[in-house]
Amino acid sequence: MPNLLTLDDLSPADITQILEKAAYYKTNILALHQKAHHLQNRVVANLFFETSTRTLNSFILAEQTQAMTVLTPDLAQSALQKGESIIDTLKTFEAMGVAAFVIRSKDEQLLHLLTEMPFKAHFINAGIGCRAHPTQALIDLSVILKHFADLKGLRIAIVGDVKHSRVAQSQIKLFNKMGMTDIRLIAPESLHLENSKDMIYESYTDIDQGLKGVDIIIRLRLQKERLPQTLALDYDQFKQNFLITKQKLALAKPNALLMHPGPCMVDEDIEAALMSHPQNVILEQVSHSVAVRMACLDYVFNSL
Ligand code: CP
């Protein structure tokens, strides 16, 4: 049964199909306030063990637009609080008829557990640990495709806390799969990736050098909830050096896109003056999220 847990689950052909279907949904279903009925009454459960605004609510909208039956249990009120394991919770929901789970959790072990256990239900990763947030990366690529016809020649800068960002790791894998290899990770030494031989990118600590001539800047927030106590980072220096300002944006190509998966810390990640700048496409990213997540549901249900 197909799952969408990491980018490893997707071939370039799958990615193209998901993005084409998302474009169809955006224009022919969502823009016309219609519903798609081929997954009607399939039961999906959104299990969010961490907070979320964009991912949770866009999945709910995607599921409702697919006419699915949607469960979004309040996990603070579930038997997990009495000591039931996550696996037993999933088996319980599956026994009620849940055919797909959308899961967010800080527990990276879940990625292995979910593939090893004999579930019939499908799983979609809505952000697990530091490693993977594949549907966010697909949304970001969907926006990039709106602005650039030729992906292969693009020069992309990913700036900020690359090391603890599940979005960054999924983006790099997705971009590489689609032939995009000119990727610059820009961060202080202590926030760079380690042990990442399966990804193609270049590391920069000098932001001015890294941003020179790029087509796309993707700024990431500091993942404060996932930082180890031992992290060697001068926070004030980091904020001062890695804030995207008008001057920093001017180092990129004239019409470069300024992206952020959100939530964006204004005046920490990107200066306030750039939040309504014409090159800022952060809300455009959000506007692609429902359609892309509808197509991700189709992928796991083999209905692309
Ligand atoms: N980009 C993202 O995952 O945002 P949320 O935490 O609001 O879902």
pLDDT in tens, 183-205: 999 999 999 998 778 999 999 99
Q: What span, in angstroms and rounded, lies between the C-alpha atoms of 178 and 85?
A: 38
Q: What span, in angstroms and rounded, lies between the C-alpha atoms of 149 and 199?
A: 23
Residue position matching structure tokens 């789970």: 101
Q: How far is the CA of 54 from the centre of ligand 1 (A)?
A: 5
pLDDT at res. 43: 98
Of 143, 158, 217, nearest to 193 by C-alpha is 158
- With a 6 Å cutoff on the Cβ, whether 210 touches ligand 1 is no
pLDDT at res. 228: 86
- With a 6 Å cutoff on the Cβ, whether 85 touches ligand 1 is no
pLDDT at res. 73: 97
Q: Quick count: other Cβ atoms within 10 Å of Cβ 203?
A: 15
The residue whose C-alpha atom lies closest to atom 6 belonging to ligand 1 is 52
- With a 6 Å cutoff on the Cβ, whether 134 touches ligand 1 is no
Q: How far is the CA of 41 from the centre of ligand 1 (A)?
A: 26
First-last CA distance in the chain: 14
pLDDT at res. 284: 98
- With a 6 Å cutoff on the Cβ, whether 261 touches ligand 1 is yes
Low-confidence ranges of the chain (pLDDT < 50): none
- With a 6 Å cutoff on the Cβ, whether 147 touches ligand 1 is no
pLDDT at res. 200: 96
Mutating to test ligand 1, I would choose from 47, 53, 135 the residue with most ligand atoms within 8 A of its C-beta, which is 53
Residues listed for the chain: 304
- With a 6 Å cutoff on the Cβ, whether 55 touches ligand 1 is yes
- 261 Cα nearest atom in ligand 1: 1
Q: How far is the CA of 82 from the centre of ligand 1 (A)?
A: 28
Whether the Cβ atoms of residue 4 and residue 135 lie closer than 8 Å to each other: yes
pLDDT at res. 278: 98
